[in-house]
Amino acid sequence: MHNFELVKPTTIADAVAALSGEDAQALGGGQTLIPTMKQRLAAPTTLVSTTGISEMQGVCVDDAGRVCIGGATTHATVAAEAAAHYPGLAALAGGIGDPAVRNRGTIGGSLANNDPSACYPSAALGSGATIVTNSREIAADDFFQGMFETALEEGEIITEVKFPVPQASNYQKFLQPASRFALVGVFVARYADGVRVAVTGASESGVFRWSEAEAALSDSFAASAIGGLSVPADGMIGDLHGTPEYRAHLIGVMTGRAVAAAG
């Protein structure tokens, strides 16, 4: 690992100022960035930690009934504090990694990294969440722009994520047992105006919405509604853990399980 300077701001304004320096990078829980630096695949000269910024931590419900989560909030905190308001989201957070990862990793760091097999992107996209940064608000549909790519600009940090609460939801993950990342994960959320289905772990382009399943489930919220649907294997990830065809098949299986569990 290369040498670097660690800055620990206590306000969002100070963090933004620190990120304006050359080769500065935001640091959440470090669950992705630090291993990347150890492998010398990244070498920022300054790391700006967001974990000491109190205004970026915690879970609350706003006047619109949305569950609002600070960008520096750990997965473990989301699992504990969102359970009463958005059980599907809390259960997803409680299944990320292991206790060490859940007590260090942050929701903002996960979304900003946009790993193609991460869990949170499916929750944000499946919920139609709003990602709030230090300078603007971005709809989840516009935020995820490909594998490890987002709409975030240089020096922009996620300060909060606002989740509309659905009538019913569930996340089903077929996990890779060593990493506990999703081989395929599906988040299903039913709202008054329709159903959203977001898939992670499967596509070379990262998280995506399965529009055909959304239309079918909006007409009939039952696992049988998607029985005749399938996702093309083209563009799916193929590796030692599973072929593109296997992942495409798992999307249907996990979606059906999520719908059945959501009730």
Fold of 1-49: 3.30.43
Distances (CA, A) of 152 to 3, 17, 97, 129, 145: 26, 16, 25, 15, 10
3-class state of residue 35 by DSSP:
helix
pTM value > 0.75: yes
Single-letter residue type at 139: A
Q: What is the DSSP string of 53-96?
A: -GGG--EEE-TTS-EEEETT-BHHHHHHHSTTT-HHHHHHHHTS
- Give the per-residue pLDDT at 28: 85
- Give the per-residue pLDDT at 199: 98
Whether the per-residue pLDDT at 23 is higher than 90: the answer is no
- Give the per-residue pLDDT at 210: 98
Q: What is the rounded distance in angstroms from the CA atom of residue 186 to the CA atom of residue 123?
A: 9
Pair 59, 94: CB distance under 8 Å = no
Task: List CB contacts of 186: < 8 A, sequence separation 6 or more.
Answer: 122, 171, 172, 173, 197, 198, 199, 200, 210, 251, 254, 255, 257, 258
Average of pLDDT values for 126-149?
A: 97
94-121 residue pLDDT tens:
999 999 999 999 999 999 999 999 999 9
pLDDT band at 126 (very low <50, low <70, confident <90, very high): very high
Paired tokens of 163: 């989740």
- Give the per-residue pLDDT at 182: 92
Question: Which segment of 11-20, 34-43, 133-142 scores lowest on mean pLDDT?
Answer: 34-43
Domains 1-49 and 168-262 share a fold: no
Average of pLDDT values for 133-160?
A: 96
Average of pLDDT values for 146-166?
A: 95
CA atoms within 13 A on the CB side of 133: 20
Single-letter residue type at 116: P
- Give the per-residue pLDDT at 252: 98
Pair 188, 225: CB distance under 8 Å = no
51-101 residue pLDDT tens:
899 999 999 999 999 999 999 999 999 999 999 999 999 999 999 999 999
Fold of 168-262: Enolase-like; domain 1 (3.30.390)
Q: Tokens 């549909």 sit at which residue?
A: 141
Pair 24, 46: CB distance under 8 Å = yes
208-260 residue pLDDT tens:
999 999 999 999 999 999 999 999 999 999 999 999 999 999 999 999 999 99
Q: Tokens 């798992």 sit at which residue?
A: 250
Which of left, alpha, beta for 146 (phi over 0: left; psi -120 to 50: alpha)? left
pLDDT band at 20 (very low <50, low <70, confident <90, very high): confident
What residues does each domain of the chain span?
1-49, 168-262
Average of pLDDT values for 114-132?
A: 96
CA-nearest of 167, 170, 181, 173 to 253 is 173
Single-letter residue type at 204: E
